[in-house]
Amino acid sequence: MIRLTVLYNTPDDPEAFLDYYEHTHVPLAEKLPDLTRITWGKTIGRNAPYFLTAELVWDSPDAMNAAMASDEGKATAADVANFATGGVTMVVSEGH
């Protein structure tokens, strides 16, 4: 299993971010080829280091790489600039 964890910093307009993320970006990400799971949520706690986190899962690194190289992957990656005004960090990990 391979995971792409996406960590979003606090955006300029949190309400607009959440609306766009849920109604535009997540539907794009759900179209990624061979994606087995996507979860996301707004962080809680006063000192949370990130505003929102997401986790996308594929069965293998090859599946993730192919998905990110696809038209859907390119569209999803390009869309991040449309809403992530606070910046974003992405981490890839292998898991069980």
- Reported as a single tens digit per residue, the pLDDT across 2-25 is 999 999 999 999 999 999 999 999
What is the per-residue pLDDT across 42-66, written as a single tens digit (0 to 9) for each?
Answer: 999 888 999 999 999 999 999 999 9
pTM of the model: 0.92
The number of distinct structural domains making up the chain is: 1
Query: For residues 15 and 37, what is the distance between their CA atoms, to the nearest angstrom?
Result: 25
Rounded Cα distance between 36 and 56, Å, is 8
- Residue 32: which CATH number? 3.30.70.100
List the domain range (segments joined by +) for residue 39. 2-52+59-94
